[in-house]
């Protein structure tokens, strides 16, 4: 069985999508439709902008979504997945690919998500940190102890065994880094991000996005999606909708999702979109499965 997986924020690169636009009328049409939906020419920034330009909140998330979804449309037209998953933002790409969401609706939600997250980040100083070399139970316990003392810190991304990202207030993250190093973490590094994604500090964004998600039509998908919040196959449109609402404040259970996909029969994972981060994580989770990536029209 074949699983399609889609990257999240951080996978962007300068010039992304330009080859698609120039070589495919289908891609050009979708990109121009995106410019109209967003109300600005995101293509100008994607194709000609600098790395700093691409880091703008209103640009980064829609850009990665567009690159993944349009690339999928061009490269896998006759290749249907048996299951899909996306890492954080990538879940929206996965839901368009499995037909649970229309392209226009998916892009609109991604744009609203990006702006809502940025507003939430501005409410309180917060950040994230990558923790390497510790088991998840130790990290969960430390986070719970710090949070019970009044600072906010939670596991945010279970990326692979031994690689977990935590998220929270500046005070909570600083304290967690100190304690986790004492517990034997190989590395504990603050990330250069704008806020505490996938934590309770994203609650204002969750509330704002919930209304938009509830007002969006979700359809029966062509294959199950393994959603971040639950790490299991989901096909019911109402359940997909609820899990997507939960996603902003719930952890990304990537390790558990991949393990469940393999248990359910996934033999090959195809990462579609910019970068190859997910292929690397999947190999750390299970070296026996096949992985490959589609990043441009020249790679299949």
State the catalytic residues.
Answer: 88, 198
Q: Which residues, at least 6 apart from 152, have a Cβ–Cβ distance to it below 8 Å?
A: 126, 168, 169, 172, 196, 199, 200, 201
- Residue 233 φ/ψ, nearest 5 degrees: -70, 130
State the Cα–Cα distance between residues 192 and 131, nearest whole angstrom. 14
State the Cα–Cα distance between residues 232 and 253, nearest whole angstrom. 10
CB 39 within 8 A of CB 56: no
State the Cα–Cα distance between residues 262 and 165, nearest whole angstrom. 23
- Residue 166 φ/ψ, nearest 5 degrees: -105, 160
Q: Say how many C-beta atoms besides its own lie within 10 A of residue 247's C-beta.
A: 24
CB 3 within 8 A of CB 261: yes
State the Cα–Cα distance between residues 167 and 197, nearest whole angstrom. 6
Q: How far is CA 194 from CA 46, 167, 191, in A?
A: 20, 11, 9
Strands 2-6 and 83-86: parallel
């Amino acid at each position: 069985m074949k699983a399609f997986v889609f990257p999240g924020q951080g996978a962007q690169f300068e010039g992304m999508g330009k080859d698609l636009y120039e070589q495919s009328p289908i891609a050009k049409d979708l990109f121009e439709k995106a410019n109209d939906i967003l109300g600005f020419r995101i293509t100008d920034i994607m194709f000609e902008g600098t790395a700093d330009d691409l880091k703008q909140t209103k640009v980064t998330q829609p850009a990665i979504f567009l690159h993944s979804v349009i690339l999928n449309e061009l490269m896998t037209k006759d290749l249907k997945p048996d299951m899909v998953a996306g890492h954080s933002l990538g879940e929206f790409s996965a839901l368009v690919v499995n037909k649970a969401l229309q392209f226009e609706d998916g892009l609109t939600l991604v744009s609203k998500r990006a702006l809502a997250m940025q507003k939430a980040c501005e409410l309180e100083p917060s950040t994230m940190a990558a923790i390497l070399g510790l088991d998840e139970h130790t990290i969960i316990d430390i986070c719970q102890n710090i949070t019970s003392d009044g600072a906010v810190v939670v596991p945010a991304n279970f990326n692979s065994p031994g690689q977990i990202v935590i998220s929270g207030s500046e005070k909570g993250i600083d304290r967690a880094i100190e304690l986790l190093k004492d517990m034997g973490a190989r590395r504990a590094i603050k990330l250069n991000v704008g806020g505490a994604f996938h934590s309770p500090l994203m609650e204002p964004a969750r509330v704002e996005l919930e209304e938009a998600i509830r007002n969006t039509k979700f359809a029966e998908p062509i294959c199950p999606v393994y959603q971040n919040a639950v790490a299991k196959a989901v096909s019911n449109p109402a359940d997909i909708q609820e899990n997507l609402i939960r996603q902003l404040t719930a952890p990304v259970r990537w390790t558990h999702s991949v393990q469940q996909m393999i248990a359910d029969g996934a033999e090959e994972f195809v990462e579609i979109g910019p970068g190859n981060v997910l292929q690397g994580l999947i190999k750390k989770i299970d070296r026996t499965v096949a992985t490959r990536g589609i990043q441009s029209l020249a790679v299949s």
